[in-house]
Amino acid sequence: MRVIAFNGSPRKTWNTAMLLEKALEGAAAQGAETTLIHLYDLEYQGCKSCFACKTKGGKSYGRCACLDDLTPVLDQVLQADAILLGSPIYFWAVTGEMKSFLERLIFPYYRYVEADDPAPTLFPRSIRTGFIYTMGVPEERMQEMGYAKAIELNQMFLAKTFGSSEYLLSFDTYQFSDYSKIDQTRFDVASKAARRERQFPLDGQSAFAMGARLATP
């Protein structure tokens, strides 16, 4: 069993990365081989709309034709038994790096077919997927701002492409190591710190459980 996690945050030691690491710990506890890839370490762009992956009989049919740092990473996905994705919410959606990665990850396998087509994907088999989202707003604010729709769309396309998907939401995260240095008046720093001490460990437990589920034979 091989599980690969993709960190869509520019931070390697903060909320998203920490929860992904917990999820990989859960997978490793089930005996999985795990890998964590930081997307911001890679040089790549989003889909270029060349449609080589959609050209029947073409050498790149069902595969992304762009050659860059994602090329070997996408090859690794083909060998994975489960994949984990993680991103903070930036301006109502995942980060730009994660969005570009999702385009390159999903579109080559996506088929322009009717909803009831028995073969909606070109991915060769079913694998498990999970997505961890972190955000600085509380749950009620997430609903008001419409984050849920973007999350639902990601899950729909991941499930359609790879066979299944689940997600974990971590709300009201502690965003800065020193709030006094940041130009902000919106956040109650004491409340943020208290929630991080109380809730973030529980989010870590949920991430661990997710990783274990994804790696369970």
Q: What is the pLDDT of residues 44-98, one digit of tens each?
A: 999 999 999 999 998 999 999 999 999 999 999 999 999 999 999 998 899 999 9
Give me the number of domains the chain comprises.
1
**DSSP-derived 3-state class of residue 88:** strand
Sign of CA dihedral 11, 14, 19, 21: positive
Dig out the tokens for 28 from the structure.
């490793």
Contact 80, 24 (CB under 8 A): no
DSSP sequence for 39-51: GGGS---------
Residue with tokens 């769309």: 153
129, amino acid identity: T
Q: What is the pLDDT of residues 94-138, one digit of tens each?
A: 999 999 999 999 999 999 888 888 888 999 999 999 999 998 887
Residue 83: which domain range?
Answer: 2-215
Give the span between the Cα atoms of 192 and 126, in whole angstroms.
Answer: 39
Distances (CA, A) of 15 to 26, 33, 77, 90, 200: 17, 23, 24, 14, 9
pTM: 0.92
Provide the pLDDT confidence category of residue 181 given band limits of 50, 70 and 90: confident
Give the pairing of strands 128-134 and 166-170: parallel
Contact 5, 25 (CB under 8 A): no
CATH code at position 191: 3.40.50.360
